[in-house]
Each structure stands twice: as structure tokens, then as C-alpha cells.
């Protein structure tokens, strides 16, 4: 059970208790540190059990509980309500209700502790010397950890008298017949830097506004987004749920005043370059305000030097930003890390796409230098073998990311027989991203930067890359593109979902697009819910392997958009329909990844424990698929609507779509409901 608000989140069990599990990130976390590792409520020494839970908003929930075993529930004389919320702090109101006709006395105990673990270390805990200060007079318990300039502090206060000791707070209470007792427990979090100063002090005015107006903030966020009217049952609720999840997954990096999307719960609760860029691309027609802040933040953190420990290079766009102890002291390369080969071209893609939707020429001019540095990086540092292909090889051999595309698990890039290619590796989708970045950079240079010569050069380079790519990556006997090239130019012949990203980038020649589509929705890749990351029939295929057979909504959203780019409407609608079926079948936040088992085999999507939920690029995937279904595309100052609605969706209306045109509406209907023939695969 979780509550979340930006970078502050709490994960507990069904009763609301927090107890450390070495393999699970339970606790109260903020900026990559666990501030509470133990938070257990007892009544008269007994643990309490859940009756139900009311998830009120993403940042607020209530637990309804009774003490004792299940057999006692019917005749329970006492019940407990835990009302929990997070914002810049953690707040819990405990209410004990006496249902008897007699006075009742209870001992209420809240056990409290913190290990101040870096979230990166969950599963590999180290012992930390935590200083504890208990003060019954002020109703306060302070837990503190310090390592040189790195200071983290948890302060718990009660609104009613308590016996405070180093292990928590005890309340000895007497409740009148049919009466109640309450206390508010307020947990404040201190992130200390130089001289013990709280690094969030400059954010306090904003966070006070958040604390008093989070409901209004959520309401305004939902109101600003387009309104969906759908005949299909539950689709409107799924849509609004995705918007609410995206609202929850916004945070303000320290010393930055705008909110940007974070990766998601639990492992990626920070700025992740790839996730942030993809999320912005997915949500352009729905929540465009995410994009300018994200572009500016990534430009601010753009690489400016060669640093092997950080995999940093001039012009390179950030992979992730962390605030935990291990990164602060260089124990791991997790604080500021640039080990991603796709974020840099995608930065240019996002800048151009945002201007197409918004008409914000000022931002394009403002970010001219970072965008040109990113384009230069593709050739100056990304072409590691001089063959004109974007490649990656980590500089940090100790703990740098091995695979630096979106399939970043260590075993994610293999051939059909399970052999891993040598480094540096040129995965196919990276070439598509580089091609798209050069084309879009040429438009920006010609129309906004006043540099037609540079635009001509980028266009020539893009055309040459497309020709070269279609010569070297195409596997004529298999009729699809190779997953990658090794450093010697030999193709990695695995069939994977990466070929769908090629359609999205536009690097595929028109005469090969249909063959690519047939593989994507064929039985080896498509499992009924979506496209697998890795096709069946290959040696290392694994339906529960993150990048060797599982299904990712974010991956599928790009694939469906790519299919529609080539007017392959039927397979695009099939993929969109499968992902929406998955999301509605599971209910709640869209998972990051599900197993690749055949839909006919499991009947129910199988979530993988290693995947997070909610995730920004999973929630954003549903929005992108909705936009793809409606065929939304900016054409000058107008919005093009060209629907391809999955069978069974009925009528769709998306109202007040924001853009350079002001606001516009889109209408569509499932053609099968009108008795029309489905369009054939083109």
C-alpha cells in the first residue's frame, strides 16, 4: 500500500505498518533516502488487522482496522482508523473508537525507527550509526544520521501527551462509552547539506502551498487536461487514473523551481532522463506543461566535460539524478550519471516536437546551444568506431550501466542464439533516434536558428544514415532489422520489439514497413496484450525476462505510433486495444511491465515484481495510445484528427486538446460498429 507526492512516498503493508523487508523497498522515502524503516501500531500489545482501505487520492489513504484475530472482528468493541497523507512530510491521524457502552482503557503504542538506507542499497543493507533523541516533554522523537556534510533527520511529533522513548511513543488512554480518542503524528524530514542547512529551505514557500492545496492542485491538473467521453465501459476512469498517476509523479529537484516527471515507484523516484523525455513525448497532447521544465532541467544538467566515473561527455544528456548517500560520496555512480546513449538524440526530438504542438519558438531559441551540443555529441562521442553509427560502451567499468539503451538490463542485448555481442554496441533504435534528431535539428536550424547551411548538413547526414542503416541492418532472409551491430559490423540477428521504434523514428523505408508490422503483430512477438520485447523461438526468450520476452506499455505506445506513421492502422489499433485491455483488466495504476505469456494461456495479465507501479512512462503510454488511436498530429497551426479506433471501443470524444491552435476537439468511432469493413494492412 502506498501514498506518494512527488519524491516523498511511503510503502506499507495492508494494515499501514512498515517493517523492513531486505528485498522490498518498504518505508517512508524522500530524495532516495529511507526516513522511516519501522512504523508499527499496537493496541494493548497486539498487532492490528485490516478491515478495509480507502485510497482517497494518490497522496492520501485511510486504513480501517481492529485488534486481534479475524474471529474477533464481528464482536469487536474497538476499531481504529489510520488516516495517512504525504506532501513534503508524512502525516498520520490515529483514531481509536470505543463501540461499547462502558468506559474503555487502552495502551496505544507506535513503534518507530529509521535506518536511513539509500534506496539503491535496499537488499544490501549496511549498518548506520543513528542518533536518537527522545523528549516526552515536547512530545518529540528525533532520529538523525550524519556522514560528514550528509545529514538526514526524521522528527516525529504528537499532538497529545505521550511517553516518548528511543523506540517510539506510548499513549495510555481512556475513552468514554461510544467515544473516541485521536492523535496526530507529524513526521518532518530534514535533508542537510553544508553546515547542517536543510537543502529544501528555498522550497518551503512552495511546499506550504502544496500542503494546503494539494486537492486543488490535483483538481486543476485534471481540469486542464482534455476531457474524454467514451462509450467503452471504464475507459474514462482508466484515462483519469493515468492523469492522476502522472500528477503524483511530478517533483521538484533540489534547487529547481519547476516540477518534472520522475520515473516511478519504487526504484525510479528521481529524475531519469529517458523516462522523463519519453513521458513528455507521450503526453504532449494532454499535459504539455511537463515539457518545458523537463527540457530546461536536462539542458541545465547537460554534460560539459569528460568524466569516466559518471560516463559524462560534452553535450550528453543526463541518464539519472539521485540524492542518496552512495552517490554523494561516490560509493556508486548514482548521483549524477550520464550512462545512456538514447537520451541525447531524444532531447532534440522532444524540443522539436514541443514546438510543433505549442508554437513556442522562444524555447527553441533559448535552448539552441544545448540542442546543438546534443547534435554534435552524436557524431563526436556517439560514433565510437567511425562507421557513422551511434554506439555505446561504458566508461565506468566498476558500476556503470552495461547496456545504455532503453533495454538496459545486463543481458538485454543478445542474438537469436543467446550470444552477447562485443562492445561498443550499435542497437537499431539508437540509429532511428539519431536519424530523427538530425532531421528535426535541421528544421529547427532552418526555421528558428537562422542557420540554413547547418540545416543542409544535418539533412545530408540524416539521408546518408538512413541509406547506410537500411543496407547494414536489414536481414533479407529473416525479413526484419537486426537488433544491433557489433563493433565489426556483424548483425545481432535477434527479433525484438526494437524494430517498432524504427517505425516511430521514420528510418524504415516504405517498402519494408509492412514486413516489420507483420512481425510486430505476428505470433512470435505479439502475445495478445502487447508486443513482447523479445520474440519466442529464440534461445534466451523468457516471458518473465524484462527485456527478453516481457511486455512494456511504454514500448508498445511508441510502436503503435510508429505503425500509424506508416499508415498501418490495423496493427496499430490491435496493439492499442491489447494494452488498453491489459490496463482495464488489472485496474489501478498501469504497471511498468507484464509477463509475455500468451493471453490465451493466462487470461489475466501477470505483473512482474521487478516492475514499478505507478510509472510515468506507463501512465503516459495510455495517453499516447489514445492520441494514436485518434490520429492526433499538429499540422502548422491546426490539429489533424485521423482515427483508427480498435474494435469494440465504440465512440470516442476528446475535448479541449491544447496546442498552438488554442483548444480543439477530436471525435472518432470504432468502424466495426458502423458495419464498415476494417482497413487492410498496408
Q: What 3 state SS string does 331-399 have?
A: CCCCCEECCCCCHHHHHHHHHHHHHHHHCCHHHHHHCHHHHHHHHHHHHHCCCCCCCCCCCECCCCCCC
The predicted pLDDT at position 208 comes to 42
Please name the residues in contact with 204: beta carbons below 8 A apart, sequence gap of 6 or more. Answer: none
Is 230 found in the same domain as 175?
A: no
Pick left, alpha or beta for residue 99 (phi over 0 → left; psi -120 to 50 → alpha; otherwise beta).
Answer: alpha
Is 243 found in the same domain as 186?
A: no
| Residue 337 domain-assigned (yes or no) | yes
Per-residue pLDDT of 159-205, as tens digits, reads: 999 999 999 999 999 999 999 999 999 999 998 855 555 545 443 43
Q: What 3 state SS string does 549-602 have?
A: CCECHHHHHHHHHHHHHCCCHHHHHHHHHHHHHHHHHHCCCCCCCECCCCHHHH
Domain boundary among 169, 202, 235: 202
Least confident interval from 61-70, 339-348, 391-400? 61-70
Is 279 found in the same domain as 182?
A: no
Is 150 found in the same domain as 248?
A: no
State the pLDDT confidence band at 672, using cuts at 50, 70 and 90: low
Per-residue pLDDT of 268-288, as tens digits, reads: 888 999 999 999 999 999 999
Is 173 found in the same domain as 237?
A: no
Q: Assign 3-state DSSP to the chain and report helix, strand, coil percentages, each to 5.
A: 35, 25, 40
Is 308 found in the same domain as 173?
A: no
Measured between alpha carbons, how far is 507 from 504 in angstroms, rounded to an integer? 8
The predicted pLDDT at position 329 comes to 78
Place of cell 549498518: 127
Measured between alpha carbons, how far is 395 from 308 in angstroms, rounded to an integer? 5
Q: Check: CB of residue 404 under 8 Å from CB of residue 341.
A: yes
The predicted pLDDT at position 71 comes to 52
Is 365 found in the same domain as 509?
A: yes
State the pLDDT confidence band at 212, using cuts at 50, 70 and 90: low
Q: Check: CB of residue 243 under 8 Å from CB of residue 313.
A: no
Is 446 found in the same domain as 388?
A: yes
Q: Check: CB of residue 91 under 8 Å from CB of residue 84.
A: yes
As a whole number, the mean pLDDT across the chain is: 91
| Residue 467 domain-assigned (yes or no) | yes
Least confident interval from 72-86, 256-270, 612-626? 72-86
Is 628 found in the same domain as 509?
A: yes
Domain boundary among 146, 168, 202: 202
CATH assignment of the domain containing 111: 2.70.98.40
Measured between alpha carbons, how far is 221 from 259 in angstroms, rounded to an integer? 13
State the pLDDT confidence band at 75, using cuts at 50, 70 and 90: low
Our measurement of the distance from residue 232's CA atom to the centroid of its chain's CA atoms, rounded to an integer in Å, reads: 26
| Residue 607 domain-assigned (yes or no) | yes
Q: Is the pLDDT of residue 260 over 80?
A: yes
Is 420 found in the same domain as 496?
A: yes
User: What's the rounded mean pLDDT across residues 5-11?
Assistant: 84
State the pLDDT confidence band at 535, using cuts at 50, 70 and 90: very high
What's the angle, vertex CA 242, arms to CA 522 and CA 600, rounded to 5? 30
User: What's the rounded mean pLDDT across residues 368-390?
Assistant: 98
Q: Is the pLDDT of residue 6 over 80?
A: no
Domain boundary among 142, 170, 202: 202
pTM metric for this prediction: 0.92
CATH assignment of the domain containing 263: 1.50.10.10
Q: Measured between alpha carbons, how far is residue 15 from residues 109, 493, 514, 623, 652 in Å?
A: 15, 50, 52, 33, 40
User: What's the rounded mean pLDDT across residues 207-211?
Assistant: 42
Spell out a b/e string for 264-296, using b for 16 or more CB atoms within 10 Å of the CB, else e: bbbbbbbbbbbbbbbbbbbbbbbbbbbbbbbbb
Give me the domain span that covers residue 265.
225-674
The total of structural domains in the chain comes to 2
Q: Measured between alpha carbons, how far is residue 221 from residues 226, 241, 544 in Å?
A: 10, 12, 35
Amino acid at each position: 500500500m502506498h501514498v506518494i507526492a512527488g519524491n516523498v512516498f511511503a510503502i506499507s503493508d495492508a494494515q499501514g505498518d512498515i517493517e523492513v523487508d531486505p528485498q522490498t523497498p518498504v518505508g517512508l522515502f524522500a530524495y532516495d533516502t529511507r526516513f522511516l524503516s519501522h512504523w508499527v501500531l499496537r493496541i494493548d500489545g497486539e498487532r492490528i488487522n485490516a478491515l478495509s482501505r480507502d485510497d482517497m487520492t494518490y497522496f492520501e489513504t485511510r486504513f480501517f482496522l481492529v485488534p486481534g484475530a479475524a474471529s474477533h472482528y464481528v464482536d469487536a468493541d474497538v476499531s481504529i482508523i489510520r488516516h495517512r497523507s504525504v506532501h513534503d512530510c508524512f502525516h498520520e491521524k490515529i483514531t481509536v473508537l470505543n463501540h461499547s457502552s462502558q468506559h474503555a482503557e487502552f495502551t496505544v503504542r507506535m513503534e518507530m525507527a529509521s535506518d536511513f538506507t539509500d534506496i539503491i542499497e535496499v537488499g544490501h543493507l549496511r549498518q548506520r550509526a543513528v542518533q536518537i533523541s527522545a523528549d516526552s516533554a515536547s512530545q518529540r522523537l528525533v532520529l538523525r544520521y550524519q556522514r560528514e556534510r550528509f545529514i538526514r533527520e526524521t522528527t516525529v511529533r504528537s499532538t497529545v501527551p505521550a511517553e516518548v522513548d528511543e523506540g517510539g511513543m506510548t499513549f495510555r488512554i481512556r475513552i468514554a462509552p461510544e467515544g473516541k480518542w485521536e492523535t496526530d503524528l507529524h513526521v518532518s524530514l530534514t535533508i542537510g547539506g553544508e553546515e547542517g542547512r536543510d537543502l529544501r529551505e528555498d522550497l518551503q514557500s512552495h511546499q506550504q502551498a502544496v500542503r494546503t492545496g494539494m486537492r486543488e492542485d490535483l483538481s486543476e491538473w485534471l481540469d486542464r487536461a482534455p476531457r474524454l467521453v467514451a462509450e467503452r465501459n471504464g475507459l474514462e476512469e482508466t484515462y483519469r487514473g493515468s492523469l492522476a498517476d502522472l500528477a503524483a509523479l511530478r517533483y521538484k529537484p533540489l534547487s529547481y523551481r519547476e516540477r518534472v516527471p520522475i520515473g516511478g515507484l519504487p526504484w525510479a523516484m528521481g529524475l531519469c532522463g529517458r523516462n522523463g523525455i519519453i513521458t513528455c513525448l507521450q503526453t504532449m497532447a494532454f499535459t504539455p506543461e511537463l515539457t518545458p521544465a523537463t527540457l530546461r532541467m536536462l539542458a541545465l544538467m547537460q554534460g560539459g566535460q569528460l568524466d569516466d566515473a559518471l560516463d559524462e561527455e560534452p553535450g550528453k544528456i543526463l541518464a539519472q539524478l539521485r540524492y542518496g548517500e552512495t552517490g554523494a560520496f561516490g560509493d556508486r555512480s548514482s548521483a549524477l550519471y550520464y550512462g545512456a546513449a538514447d537520451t541525447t538524440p531524444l532531447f532534440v526530438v522532444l524540443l522539436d516536437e514541443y514546438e510543433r504542438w505549442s508554437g513556442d519558438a522562444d524555447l527553441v531559441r533559448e535552448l539552441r546551444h544545448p540542442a546543438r551540443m546534443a547534435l554534435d555529441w552524436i557524431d563526436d562521442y556517439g560514433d565510437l568506431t567511425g562507421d557513422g553509427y551511434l554506439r555505446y560502451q561504458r566508461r565506468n567499468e566498476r558500476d556503470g550501466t552495461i547496456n545504455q539503451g532503453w533495454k538496459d538490463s545486463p543481458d538485454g542485448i543478445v542474438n537469436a542464439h543467446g550470444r552477447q555481442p562485443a562492445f561498443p554496441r550499435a542497437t537499431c533504435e539508437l540509429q532511428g533516434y539519431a536519424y530523427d534528431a538530425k532531421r528535426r535539428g535541421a528544421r529547427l536550424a532552418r526555421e528558428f536558428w537562422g542557420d540554413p547551411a547547418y540545416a543542409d548538413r544535418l539533412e545530408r547526414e540524416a539521408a546518408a544514415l538512413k541509406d547506410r542503416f537500411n543496407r547494414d541492418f536489414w536481414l533479407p532472409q529473416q525479413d526484419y532489422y537486426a537488433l544491433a551491430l557489433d563493433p565489426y559490423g556483424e548483425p545481432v540477428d535477434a527479433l525484438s520489439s526494437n524494430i517498432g521504434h524504427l517505425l516511430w523514428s521514420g528510418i524504415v523505408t516504405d517498402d519494408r514497413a509492412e514486413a516489420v508490422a507483420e512481425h510486430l503483430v505476428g505470433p512470435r512477438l505479439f502475445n495478445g496484450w502487447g508486443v513482447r520485447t523479445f520474440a519466442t523461438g529464440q534461445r534466451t526468450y523468457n516471458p518473465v525476462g524484462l527485456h527478453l520476452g516481457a511486455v512494456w506499455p511504454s514500448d508498445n505506445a511508441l510502436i503503435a505510433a510508429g505503425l500509424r506513421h506508416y499508415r498501418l492502422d490495423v496493427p496499430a489499433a490491435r496493439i492499442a486495444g491489447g494494452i488498453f485491455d491489459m490496463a482495464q483488466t488489472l485496474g489501478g495504476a498501469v504497471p511498468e511491465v507484464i509477463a509475455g505469456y500468451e493471453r490465451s494461456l493466462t487470461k489475466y495479465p501477470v505483473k512482474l515484481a521487478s516492475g514499478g507501479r505507478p510509472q510515468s512512462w506507463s501512465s503516459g503510454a495510455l495517453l499516447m495510445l489514445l492520441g494514436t488511436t485518434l490520429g492526433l498530429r499538429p499540422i502548422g497551426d491546426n490539429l489533424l484528427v485521423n482515427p483508427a479506433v480498435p474494435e469494440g471501443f465504440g465512440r470516442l470524444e476528446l475535448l479541449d486538446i491544447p496546442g498552438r491552435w488554442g483548444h480543439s476537439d477530436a471525435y472518432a468511432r470504432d468502424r466495426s460498429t458502423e458495419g464498415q469493413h476494417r482497413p487492410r494492412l498496408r
